[in-house]
Amino acid sequence: MKGGATWTQAPAQQRDGKWTAVLDHSGAGGKQVTIKAGFTDAHGNAVSQTITRAYEVR
């Protein structure tokens, strides 16, 4: 399967001064995870990062 074919959004939330996101890996056992994150500040400056093979779901 080509990378990005099964992207799922995971909205981030700020908790205790840290940003977190909960990812749903239902049915993804044995598969590698690629993470793509994008951030935009109040002035419209934006950055994105993709981490290929960040980890494998067990």
pLDDT in tens, 48-57: 999 999 999 9
Q: If pLDDT is split at 50, 70 and 90, which confidence band does 5 have? A: confident
Instruction: Tokens for 57, please give them.
Output: 């779901």
Q: What is the pLDDT of residues 24-49, one digit of tens each?
A: 888 888 889 898 999 899 999 999 99
Alpha-carbon distance of 37 to 51, in angstroms, equals: 9
**Given this model, what pLDDT does residue 3 score?**
65
Grade residue 9 by pLDDT with cuts at 50, 70 and 90: confident
CA distances from 47 to 7, 29, 39, 44 (A): 18, 30, 5, 10
